[in-house]
Amino acid sequence: MFYDFVMSVDEKKTIDMASKQIETKLRRLAKLRMEGLSLMLGRLADKYDVELSPPEGFSTRRMPLGINLRDRNVKVPINDWGSGTQNRTYILMSILQANRIKTTGSPDEKITPLVVIEEPEAFLHPSAQAEFGRLLRHLAAELGLQIIVTTHSPYMLNQEEPAANLLLSRQIRRGTAFETVQVETSSENWMAPFAEHLGIGTDEFSALRPIFASGQSKVLLVEGTIDQEYFQWMQAHTAGCERLAADIEVVPYGGKDTLKNTLLLQFVLRKFDRVCITYDLDADTEVRAALKRTGLKEDEHFIPLGLPQAGKDCIEGLLPHRVISAVHGRETYLVMRLTSNERRRAKELLKKKYLEKFQCNSDYSDEDLKELSKVTRKINMRLCK
């Protein structure tokens, strides 16, 4: 396969000048060949006048170029790569050519090209689909091109600019296909119409709204709003220990079950350039396996919160001891309910009490915040390196 390298008018003139010199040299070489060939043909009964013409390819504006891709020290022709890599390479070359048409040539030649790509996700792994979709969006913005993509892949959706996504639906009546209509996706719930394709239920989708609304490239995903407030406090505190970087957005993902939905998790991760996930250590058995199936690594992509001690296997296990003691001393009834069938509700209420007590103090020492500071340092290293 070859890539048509299209030249501008000025570039063609340069090539034409060079080709005339080459043509002159070729004619000299051809004359020698012609004389030898005439002698050979002269032995035949039929006599021919011999004329050799140089190739005319040098004067054309199109030139076939072979394509190779290099992987480390190995150079491989494009035809020998997988279908997904081939398709992706040809698409990028088309975009490059469109930009060349837009930016080169005489003013009369310049046009604004429109790039239309049909199902670029074909033969690509879901993670590669999301990466390629994001690359196409960035190229469109950087090069000032309009790129229209038709797709059946949720990973190709434009999450940075939701209004750019158009959902088309074929109307079916009595088993017969009729016209295609555009589905309304302009509200805050823009993702709802796509939920069926993502395999996301209504409850899951509601919990994920903060993620879809996020516009930052560095994101810390936390289990819920209580964890969110702890880490936002770690961004603003005035103690002498580590603070969470200010350019990290803390976003709740709506509970541990979200992390166990591998398809959904992959979709969420591809939305951001850099992501770190936290969850309570008491859910480690359930969550860790799902995260590893997605290719994530502990301390690099996810961090369990808590200490490996009874009652401390959650984010509250990282709090200063005096905060826990103060809440338990004041909320004795709630603590007692932890041993009853109302345990879940009591635990939720206690978590709020811990947060309130933690936030009302400001005179924490480095020792008080030691455990929270350790986690914060890991997150900063992951997202800000």
CB proximity list for 108: less than 8 A, separation 6 or greater: none
Q: Are 167 and 176 in contact (CB under 8 A)?
A: no
The residue among 42, 66, 90 that closes a domain is 66
Contact 83/44 with Cβ under 8 angstroms?
Answer: no
Contact present, 227 and 354 (Cβ < 8 Å) = no
Q: What is the pLDDT of residues 244-286, one digit of tens each?
A: 999 899 988 888 888 887 766 776 676 677 889 999 999 998 8
Question: With contact defined as beta carbons under 8 Å apart, do 104 and 8 qualify?
Answer: yes
Residue 372's nearest CA partner among 303, 292, 269, 287 is 303
Q: Which of 17, 49, 66 is the last residue of a domain?
A: 66
Looking at residue 59, its pLDDT comes to 47
The whole-number pLDDT of residue 229 equals 94
Task: Give domain status of residue 32, yes or no.
Answer: yes
Within this chain, do residues 225 and 368 fall inside the same structural domain, yes or no? yes
Query: Does residue 81 lie within any of the structural domains?
Result: no
**Paired residues of 69 in beta bridges:** 76
Write out the residue range of the structural domain in which residue 218 sits: 198-384
**HSE on the CB side for 161, CA within 13 Å?**
8
The phi-psi region of residue 56 (left if phi > 0; otherwise alpha if psi is between -120 and 50; otherwise beta) is alpha
Give the pair of three-digit tokens for residue 62: 């199109």
12-22 pLDDT per residue, tens: 788 788 877 87
Which of 39, 66, 93 is the last residue in one of the domains?
A: 66
Which residues are bridge partners to 219 per DSSP? 249, 275
Judged against a pLDDT cut of 70, whether residue 6 lies above it is answered with no
CA distance 272 to 81: 28
Same domain? For 227 and 374 the reply is yes
Distance in angstroms (rounded) separating the CA atoms of residues 130 and 158? 10
Answer yes or no: are the C-beta atoms of 147 and 136 closer than 8 Å: yes
What is the band of 212 on the pLDDT scale with cuts at 50, 70, 90?
low
Q: Which residue has the higher pLDDT, 77 or 378?
A: 378
Higher-confidence residue: 172 or 353?
353
Q: Which tokens hold the place of 79?
A: 């035809």
- 86, 98 Cβ separation under 8 angstroms: no
Model-wide pTM > 0.85: no
Record the tokens describing residue 322, joined without a space. 């005096």
39: three-class secondary structure by DSSP = helix
* 46 pLDDT tier (thresholds 50, 70, 90): very low
> What does the pLDDT average to over 134-160?
84
Does some domain include residue 181? no
Q: Are strands 74-77 and 68-71 parallel, antiparallel or unpaired?
A: antiparallel
Q: Is residue 213, in this structure, part of any structural domain at all?
A: yes
**372 within a domain of the structure (yes/no):** yes
The total of structural domains in the chain comes to: 2
| Residue 211 domain flag | yes
Instruction: Give domain status of residue 85, yes or no.
Output: no
Distances (CA, A) of 64 to 11, 39, 91, 93: 16, 36, 17, 13
359 within domain boundaries: yes
**What is the residue-averaged pLDDT of the chain?**
79
Whether residue 136 has pLDDT greater than 90:
no
